[in-house]
Amino acid sequence: MEYKFNEIEKKWQDYWRENKVYQVSNNSGKPKYYVLDMFPYPSGAGLHVGHPLGYIASDIYSRYKRLKGFNVLHPMGFDSFGLPAEQYALETGQHPATTTEKNITTFKAQLDKIGFCYDWNRELRTSDPQYYKWTQWIFLQLYNSYFCNTQQKARPIADLVKKYETKGCKNFTADQWNAFTKKEQEDILMNRRLAFSAFGEVNWCEALGTVLANDEVVNGVSERGGHPVERRKMRQWFLRITAYANRLLQGLETVDFSDSMKEMQRNWIGKSEGAEIEFNIKNSTSRLNVYTTRPDTIFGVDFMVIAPEHEIVTAITTSEQKEEIEKYLAYVKSRSERERLAEAKTITGCFTGAYAVNPFDGRKIPIWIAEYVLAGYGTGAIMAVPCGDQRDFAFAKHFNIPITNIIGTHFTGHEANPTKDAVLQNSGFLNGLVMKDAMAVAINKVEELGIGKRKVNYRMRDAGFSRQRYWGEPFPITWCDGIANPLDASELPLELPHVDKYSPGPNGEGPLANLTDWINTANGRRETSTMPGYAGSSWYFLRYMDPHNDKTFCDRKASDYWNQVDLYIGGTEHAVGHLLYSRMWTKVLFDLGLIGFDEPFKKLLNQGMIQGSSRFIYRVAGTNQFVSAGLKDNYTTQPLHVDVNMVDGVDLNIEKFKQWKNAEFADATFILENDKYICGTEIEKMSKSKFNTVNPDELCDKYGADTFRMYEMFLGPVEASKPWDTKGIEGVHRFLRKLWRLLFDDLKGKIWTDAKATDAELKVLHRTIKKIEEDTERFSFNTAVSTFMICVNELADLKCNKKEVIEQLLILLAPYAPHICEELWHQLGNKGSVLDADYPTFNPALLVESTKDYPVSVNGKLRTNIILPLNLEQPQVEELVLQNEVVQKWLDGKPPKKIIFVKNKMINVVV
RNA sequence: GCCCAUGUGGCGGAAUUGGUAGACGCAGCAGACUCAAAAUCUGCCGUUCGCAAGAGCGUGAAGGUUCGAUUCCUUUCGUGGGCACCA
C-alpha cells in the first residue's frame, strides 16, 4: 500500500468539514486558548509561499494546544476593505465588492488546501455590512467619549457636558457655557472627543483631483502621471491616540512582545521630557513658545527655528525679508512631509528678520524658518544650540551664524558635542554646573519667572482617520451648519451605497460626494469620506469571539471567556500602525466597560519574510540573443527577470522559456556555456512582477500539504527571514514516506504489529516526546521537524513496526502533518480524530543512563573520549583520566596542573 | 545619521544555561538492488597535510575575559530591516 497523499488529504479535509471537527464552542469545561493570525488582505494575486509561514506556525500551535487539553479558538477572516480593489475598479470598472468576493474565494480554497484547522463558522470580512455595522458603532463610542485627564481614561462625553453645565471649567463658567450657541458648544466638545474632526494637512494633487498617500508622491509629483502635489489643509477625522500615549507605553510592560518590537513602539510614541519656554520678540507683542529637552543649554542658543507653517511667521517677518520668506514658503509647500524629513544633506531655511530675546542675558536671537521643523511636533519651534546639536551646528555653519560655546574644551569647533556631562561656561547662573544637574536648575528658574514650564512631550501625533476614498466604511455622521450629527445606533449599518464610477468627487472629496441623492438627508449632508484600512482591523479579534451577534459587537460573556489573544502571529510591518491602533481601541472599550481587558495581545510572535530568489537572463543589447550568466561580461547586456518556475536551479529550461508569455521569445537565440544557459540570481522581495513567486497549490499537488507544511517549518526559525528554495522539499517528503513504510509495505501491505516495544524503542520514543514538546512550546518548529526525522530514522534502523510506539508518534506529529497522521491513526484501528487523543506523557525513567561518553580535552583541545559511570566523583575521575593512554601522551610526563570535571558534560586536563 | 537584527560547510540550518562546532535536510561522490530507470538501501562528504594513524587551521575580522568562547566584553567590517532633520 502506497502513500497516496492526494487521496488521503482530500479524504480528511472532507471528513473534518463534514464532521465540524474544528468548530469551537464558547462553552467548555476546558481552559481556553486563543491563537490568532493577522488576517490577510485578499489581493488579486492569490497566495504565494510567503503568506502561509505564519499560518502554518499558528496552526501547529493550535493543534498542539488542543491535544494538550485546551479549548482553542483559531479563526480566520479577511481584511477586505482597501485601496487596491478600488484602484482596480477605477481601471477596469469592476465593482470592488465583486472582485473582493472572487479573491476571497480563491484565498479560502488555497488556505483549505494546506489543511488549516480554522473554524470557518466564525469567518469575518471587514467589508461585510454585518461586520462594519459594529466598526461604525465603535466609532460612535469613540466620538461620544473624551479622555478624562484626572482619571486617565475614556469617559462618556455626556459626563463632560454635565460638568460644563453645572460647574464650568477653567476657561468658562457654567453660565457662560449655557449661554454659548450650539455651534460654540459643539466646537468645544469636538476638541475633547476621542474621534474628532479637525483640519489636517494632506498631499493634494490638483490634476488628479484627489488626495495622495505619502508613498504615492515621488519628488514632489504624483507617482501616477507626474503631476505636481502640494500640502493642503482639509477637514479630516482623527483619533485622539495621543491621549493614550502614556498608557500605550505603560501597557508594553505587561505584554510579551519581542524587545525590538517594544522598542519600535516606544520610538514611535517618542516620549521626551523637557520644558516649554516663552521668548519675547523684539519690537513685537507676539511671544515665541519653544519646546526643548535641553533647557540647560539656554545660554548657548544662537538662533531659533520655527516651522514654515507656524502661525506667527507672517506677523513677525520684517518687510525686508518678506519676499524671501514668501519664496521659501512656496518652496516648502511643494515638498511632501517625507521629503522634508528625508533629506538631511541639503540645508534650507530663511531668516524672518525678527529677533527673539534671551530671557536671562537679553541677547538678540535671530528667528529662522526651516522645513525640518514640523508644525505638528512640540510647539513647532525650537531653540537652536549649535555647539551641542549636530543639526543646529550644520545649519549655523551653512548660514554663517556665529556659534556660542558653553562647554569649553568639549566643543572643538568642527562638530557639535551633545554631551550632558560637560561643565557649563558662558552660562550666567548655570556656570560651573554639570549639564545633567543644570537641567532641573534651569527649569526651576524658568518656572519661577513664569516664562515656561516643565513639559512631557510625545512625538506621536493623532491618527488621521478619514480617507477620500470609496472602498471603506462610511462614517455614521451628517453635517448641518458646521455641526456633526452622529447617527443613532439603530440606523446602523450605514451601508456603503453602490456607485457606478470610482473617480473623486468635487472639492477633493471622495467618490461618495458624487451621489447627490445619498449625501443629502433630512438631518444634513452626509460625511463623504470613508474610514481607513485600519478601522476594521483594530477590533476584529473581538468579533471572532461572537461573530454572529446582531445585538452587540461582542457579548461581554464571550469576551470575558476568550479574553486576550494568547498568541498573535504576524509580520513586523505592522509593528507600529495596526498594533498601536488596536491597542488603543482595546483600551477605550475597556475604559467604557465594554470588555474586561485593556491589552488585546498577550504574546506576539513575528514571522520573518520569505524572500524570493529571482532568476535573470541577459539580453545582448539591441538583439534577441541571450547570453549565459558566466559569459555576460563580454557583452553589453540588459538583465531580464525570468519566471523561477522555468529554471532548474540556475539552469534555464530553454524550451519552456520560448513558450513563455505567449511565445514572445520563440525566436530568441542563446549563447551557452557547457551547452547550458545559466541564469543570474538575486534575493528580492517575493512579488508577481519579479516572476519569483512560488504557488503553494502546485507544491501541495506535487508533494502534498503535509510535506509543504513541514518543509515551510524546516526552512529555518519562523522569526527569521529567508529566501525560498524549493530544492529541499524532497527531503521532507522522503521523511513522510519513510514514516508510512513503518506501517505499510508497498507490496505486502500492512506490516505493523501489536508486539510489545523494547526498551531501545521506548527510549527513542520518549526522547522524541520530550524534544517535540520543548521545541513546540518555544516555537522552534524547524528543530522539531529534525527531531521527527531522527526518530523515524532510528525506528527504521531498529525495524520497529509496533503499533504501541508509532501510535504515540502519530499524536506528536499530528499538529505538523495532520492528514497523514489522521489516516494512519485510523488505519491502526482508532476511532475519532487524532486531535482528540491523549497527548503522550514523557517518562524520564526510560532515559536514565548509567554511563556517559565524556569528551576529554587537554588544555582546552579535545583529544579523546572516555566512557565513565555517571556516579563517579572528581577523585575517581581524575585517576581514570590520568591512566588514559591518549591523555598520558599529551601530558608527556608532566604533572597536570588542574583537572576540570563537570558531571555529565566534559573533562578538561590543564597542563 | 540613528536604532534593531544578523554573519557558522557548496546550500538551508543545528548547537536551549560558557562545556565534543557542523545535528537534520538538500546538493555532490562512490557502491548495492535492477535488463534499465525510478524508488529504496549502504558508505563518504568543513579545510590543509598525510597511505594511514594522526596533526594543523576553522563559526565575518582583530583583540580580550576564561581551564574552556559560535555563545560574554571591546573594536571593526559586511548584509538585512526599521525609523528619521522629533528639538
Q: Is the pLDDT of residue A474 over 90?
A: yes
> Residue A453 pLDDT more than 70?
yes
pLDDT at A98 over 70: yes
Q: What is the rounded average pLDDT of the residues A747-755?
A: 87
Q: Which three cell numbers stand for residue A112?
A: 483549505
pLDDT number for residue A478 = 94
Interval A326-344: pLDDT, tens: 888 888 877 766 566 555 5
pLDDT interval class at A126 (50, 70, 90): very high
**In the structure, what pLDDT confidence band is assigned to residue A345 with cuts at 50, 70 and 90?**
low
Q: Is the CB of A790 under 7 A from strand B?
A: yes
C-beta separation of A856 from A909 below 8 A: yes
Question: For the segment A790-823, what is each residue's pLDDT rounded down to a tens digit?
Answer: 999 999 999 999 999 999 999 999 999 999 999 9
What is the phi/psi pair of residue A222, to 5°? Answer: -70, 145
pLDDT at residue A644, rounded to an integer: 78
Closest CA to A290 of A389, A385, A381: A381
Q: Which of residues 236-265 of A touch strand B (CB under 7 A)?
A: 259-260, 263-264
**Residue with the three cell numbers 457654567:** A174
E strand map for A332-390 = 350-357, 364-369, 381-384
Give me the percent of chain A exceeding a pLDDT of 70.
97
**Measured CA to C1', what is the nucleotide nearest A379?**
B87
* The pLDDT value given to residue A525: 93
The Cα–Cα gap between A767 and A731 comes to 22
Task: Estimate to the nearest angstrom the gap between the alpha carbon of A267 and the chain centroid.
Answer: 14
Q: Is the CB of A906 under 7 A from strand B?
A: yes
Lowest mean pLDDT among A457-471, A545-559, A700-714: A457-471
A153-197 pLDDT, tens digit per residue, is: 999 999 999 999 999 998 999 999 999 999 999 999 999 999 999
Rounded to 5°, the CA angle A461-A466-A467 comes to 120
Q: Which of residues 867-896 of A touch strand B (CB under 7 A)?
A: none
Tell me the three state secondary structure of residue A15. Answer: helix
Q: What is residue A340's predicted lDDT score, i.e. its pLDDT?
A: 64
Confidence (pLDDT) at A390: 76
Strand B–CB A722 distance below 7 A: yes
Question: Is pLDDT of A346 > 80?
Answer: no
Specify whether the CB–CB gap between A117 and A518 falls below 8 A: no
Q: Which nucleotide is nearest to A343 (CA to C1')?
A: B85
Whose CA is nearest the C1' atom of nucleotide B54?
A: A863
* Each residue's pLDDT tens digit, A599-651: 999 999 988 888 777 777 888 888 888 887 777 777 887 777 888 777 776 77
**Average pLDDT, integer, range A583-595:** 95
Query: Is the pLDDT reported for residue A380 higher than 80?
Result: yes
Question: CA of A457 vs C1' of B2, distance in Å?
Answer: 20
Cα A746 to Cα A741: distance, rounded to the nearest angstrom: 8
Residue of A534, A374, A357 whose CA lies nearest to A459: A374
Overall average pLDDT of the A749-753 stretch: 88
A148 touches strand B (CB under 7 A): no
pLDDT at position A577 = 81
What is the rounded average pLDDT for all residues in chain A? 88
Query: CB of A612 within 8 A of CB of A683?
Result: yes
Positions on chain B within 7 A of a protein C-beta: 1, 3-5, 11-16, 19-21, 23-27, 39-42, 55-56, 67-69, 80-87
Between A639 and A485, residue with greater pLDDT: A485
Residue A366 pLDDT grade (very low, low, confident, very high; cuts 50, 70, 90): very high
Q: Which of residues 826 to 855 on A have a Cβ less than 7 angstroms from any strand B atom? A: 853, 855
What is the distance in angstroms measured between the alpha-carbon CA of A613 and the sugar C1' of B26? 16
Q: Is the CB of A571 under 7 A from strand B?
A: no
Residue at the smallest CA–C1' distance to nucleotide B55 = A863
Q: What is the DSSP letter of A443?
A: H
CA distance A306 to A325: 12
Q: What is the mean pLDDT of residues A283-291?
A: 88
The nucleotide minimizing the C1' distance to residue A683's CA is B80
Structure confidence at residue A339 (pLDDT): 61
Helix-, strand-, coil-residue percentages of chain A, each rounded to 5: 40, 20, 40
Q: What are phi and psi of A134, to 5 degrees?
A: -85, -25
pLDDT of residue A539: 94
Q: CA A716 – C1' B8 distance (Å)?
A: 14
Q: Rounded CA gap, A870 and A850, in Å?
A: 6
Å from the A191 CA to the B85 C1'? 30
Stretch A881-904: mean pLDDT, rounded? 83
pLDDT band of residue A84 (cuts 50, 70, 90) is confident
Assess whether pLDDT exceeds 90 at residue A138.
yes
> Could you give the CA distance from residue A360 to residue A147 in angstroms, rounded to a whole number?
38
pLDDT at A219: 63
ipTM of predicted assembly, 2 dp: 0.92
| pLDDT (mean) for A741-766 | 90
Whether residue A119 is predicted with pLDDT greater than 80 in this model: the reply is: yes
Give the model's pLDDT for residue A717.
92
Does the CB of A420 fall within 7 Å of any strand B atom?
no
| pLDDT score of A784 | 96
Instruction: Show the domains of chain A with their CATH numbers.
Output: 5-131+542-606 (3.40.50.620), 271-458 (3.90.740.10), 610-684 (no CATH), 723-843 (1.10.730.10), 849-910 (3.10.20.590)
DSSP type of residue A430: G
Using the CB atom, is residue A398 less than 7 Å from strand B? no
> Is the C-beta atom of A328 closer than 7 angstroms to strand B?
no
Kindly report the number of other CB atoms within 10 A of residue A93's CB atom. 10
Query: Of A14-18, A403-407, A561-565, where does mean pLDDT reach its minimum?
Result: A403-407
